[in-house]
Amino acid sequence: MSDGTPRPKVLILGAGFAGLGAARKLHKAPVDVTLVDRHDFHTFQPLLYQVATDVLDPETVGHPVRDVVHHQDNLDFAMATVTGIDLESKTVTFSDWDPQTYDYLVIGLGSRVNFFGTDGADEHAYPLYTLPDAVRLKDRLLTNLEAAAKRPESVEQGALDVVIVGGGATGVETAGSLAELYYTVFPKDYPSLDMTKASITLVEHGDRLLAMFDEGMSAYTLDTLTERGVTVRLGEAVTSIGADAVTLGSGEQLAASTTVWGAGLQSVPIAGELGVDLERHRVPVGPLLNLEHHPEVFVVGDMAFTTDAKTGEVLPQLGSVALQAGEHVGKTIDRMLRKHKDPEPFHYFDKGTMATIGRKAAVAVIPPHDIHLTGRAAFALWGAVHLALLSGGDSRMSALTNWFWAFSTHDRPSRMLVHPNDDD
Ligand SMILES: Cc1cc2nc3c(=O)[nH]c(=O)nc-3n(C[C@H](O)[C@H](O)[C@H](O)COP(=O)(O)OP(=O)(O)OC[C@H]3O[C@@H](n4cnc5c(N)ncnc54)[C@H](O)[C@@H]3O)c2cc1C
């Protein structure tokens, strides 16, 4: 809290990587910060697939925002949903809170699923972008299993078949983890079910998986998933999704009791209200990550179309980019206020890219010498990096325990259906 003297008000919208990064770097700035999110928790999106596939609990992948920021004296948190931004009156409106004014605004509201108009996707697909999405998918998979256990012959009729749309990191990581669950864990728990008859199919429109990595790594990913029982369909698009099947562009139908969508992002609706033309669904920002005609308004993270000031490259929608951009904006606002140093343009420091394919299998590229790793070394590195990035010591400890247990016993500790509205 401030000592009562009016100070510039910084309003940060979104407690994702970008919003929290900005908040942290303002902890010593002479400002009053209000951080707002529609949830009272921060989500570590890179591990959502582990909630969906019973490796981690939702409480490990989400972390209370108040616990992250409670030590910051100049910051208040409010759980509220943003509905509008008026740049001229410097006011933000909410569905469940009074309008708030600001001197500086940091917008980091992330992105949302893009079904690209695919017929039936809205109704039948399971996206994997938020913690509620991950819990819904987990629930669906376990509910289908329990239903199939009462009718074992239904497995052969497709009752447990899963189609995953999109061969990027979300699709690949989900497919790999699901294959372990289906072909290693569930056969122990459901001895009456012939899990070899349950299929997992990964459909990718392009001609290779993990297109952000090199071709050798894509080939390694394809081989690893195939060995583990996943059918990969490259060069195919899913054109419609029904309750128990998907249709491909060729007209072929695949049984799908569950269709997981990991194929695309689009901007949140607010992005269209900022008076600028969107680029690839994102808000273009200048070198200081602010709007050209409103330098007091910063847009960061997945929402922003950010060009690296040093390399001129358009930066990808990644957690590491969002965090660094948020931190940069926090420092920039501090510099603008104290006027002791000029703000600097944003340059992203690439610490590496990685994706896991499952137990002991991952791919990683480490700059600056472009070291390429696959297999156990990449898997170990992936685990260490993700553990370090999780918010809170309790989440790290819980992830470590669950990973150790899953790794050493081939079991999944978080395999339970809990419905808050169920009768006792
Ligand atoms: C499944 C998955 C796997 C990923 N894996 C990786 C990975 O391995 N490595 C990596 O670097 N990146 C990964 N990413 C990308 C990374 O998670 C994102 O780039 C990053 O989360 C973007 O941060 P952000 O702060 O911009 O947005 P977010 O983290 O999405 O945060 C936005 C926040 O805004 C809040 N919000 C949204 N709308 C409103 C509203 N109207 N009112 C109030 N609050 C609102 C949300 O609740 C959320 O807390 C992954 C993403 C997904 C979905």
Q: How far is CA 196 from CA 154, 228, 233, 410, 413, in A?
A: 13, 11, 19, 17, 22
Pocket mutation for ligand 1, best pick of 45, 93, 266 (most atoms within 8 Å of C-beta): 45
Tally of structural domains, the chain: 3
List the structure tokens of 208.
């290779």
* Structural domain contains residue 347: no
State if residue 304 touches ligand 1 by the CB under 6 angstroms criterion: no
Distance 267 CA to ligand 1 centre (A): 11
Distance 317 CA to ligand 1 centre (A): 9
Token pair 């943003």 is found at 82
List the structure tokens of 207.
């001609």
* Structural domain contains residue 417: no
State if residue 174 touches ligand 1 by the CB under 6 angstroms criterion: no
Distance 129 CA to ligand 1 centre (A): 8
Q: Do 128 and 72 have their domain in common?
A: no
Average the pLDDT over each of 82-91, 219-228, 249-258, 330-339 and give the range with the smallest value.
330-339
Token pair 């990644």 is found at 318
Q: Do 282 and 358 have their domain in common?
A: no
Distance 102 CA to ligand 1 centre (A): 23
Q: Quick: pLDDT tens for 26-58.
A: 999 999 999 999 999 999 999 999 999 999 999
Q: Quick: pLDDT tens for 374-408.
A: 999 999 999 999 988 888 888 898 998 988 888 88
Q: Do 190 and 245 have their domain in common?
A: yes
State if residue 297 touches ligand 1 by the CB under 6 angstroms criterion: no
pLDDT, residue 110, reads: 97
List the structure tokens of 6.
């009016």
Distance 36 CA to ligand 1 centre (A): 14
233, 263, 293: which is the final residue of a domain? 263
pLDDT, residue 356, reads: 95
CB neighbour class for 415 (10 Å; exposed up to 12, middle 13-18, buried from 19): middle
pLDDT confidence tier of residue 23, bands split at 50, 70 and 90:
very high
State if residue 229 touches ligand 1 by the CB under 6 angstroms criterion: no
263, 279, 313: which is the final residue of a domain? 263
**What CA–CA distance (Å, rounded) separates 332 from 113?**
31
Atom in ligand 1 nearest the alpha carbon of residue 354: 8
Q: Do 177 and 202 have their domain in common?
A: yes
pLDDT, residue 409, reads: 86
Q: Do 303 and 334 have their domain in common?
A: yes
* Structural domain contains residue 401: yes
* Structural domain contains residue 284: yes
Q: Do 307 and 198 have their domain in common?
A: no
Q: Which residues contact 322 (CB under 8 A, 6 or more apart)?
A: 16, 17, 18, 21, 108, 300, 301, 302
State if residue 329 touches ligand 1 by the CB under 6 angstroms criterion: no
* Structural domain contains residue 344: no
**What CA–CA distance (Å, rounded) separates 208 from 231?**
13
State if residue 363 touches ligand 1 by the CB under 6 angstroms criterion: no
Q: Quick: pLDDT tens for 155-213.
A: 999 999 999 999 999 999 999 999 999 999 999 999 999 999 999 999 999 999 999 99
Pocket mutation for ligand 1, best pick of 12, 63, 170, 318 (most atoms within 8 Å of C-beta): 318
**What CA–CA distance (Å, rounded) separates 411 from 150?**
22
Q: Do 189 and 131 have their domain in common?
A: yes
Q: Do 131 and 227 have their domain in common?
A: yes
* Structural domain contains residue 419: no
For the segment 65-93, the average pLDDT, to the nearest whole number, is 97
Nearest CA-CA partner of 45 in 319, 356, 300? 319
8 Å CB contact between 201 and 159: no
Q: Do 274 and 183 have their domain in common?
A: no
Atom in ligand 1 nearest the alpha carbon of residue 15: 49
Domain region containing 77: 9-113+266-338
Q: Do 245 and 275 have their domain in common?
A: no
Q: How far is CA 370 from CA 292, 308, 317, 350, in A?
A: 35, 19, 20, 11
Token pair 């170990």 is found at 380
Tell me, what CATH number does 143's domain have?
3.50.50.60
* Structural domain contains residue 18: yes
Q: Do 250 and 179 have their domain in common?
A: yes
Q: Which residues contact 25 (CB under 8 A, 6 or more apart)?
A: 326, 327, 328, 329, 330, 331, 334
List the structure tokens of 223.
């081989």
Pocket mutation for ligand 1, best pick of 92, 96, 109 (most atoms within 8 Å of C-beta): 109
Phi, psi at 311, each rounded to 5°: -95, -15
Q: Quick: pLDDT tens for 308-365.
A: 999 999 999 999 999 999 999 999 999 999 877 889 999 999 989 999 999 999 999 9
* Structural domain contains residue 243: yes
pLDDT, residue 389, reads: 86
338, 372, 400: which is the final residue of a domain? 338
State if residue 17 touches ligand 1 by the CB under 6 angstroms criterion: yes
Atom in ligand 1 nearest the alpha carbon of residue 48: 1
8 Å CB contact between 31 and 57: no
Q: Which residues face 126 on adjacent strands?
A: 260
Q: Quick: pLDDT tens for 99-122.
A: 999 999 999 999 999 999 999 999
For residue 422, pLDDT over 80 is answered with no
pLDDT, residue 20, reads: 97
Q: Do 147 and 230 have their domain in common?
A: yes
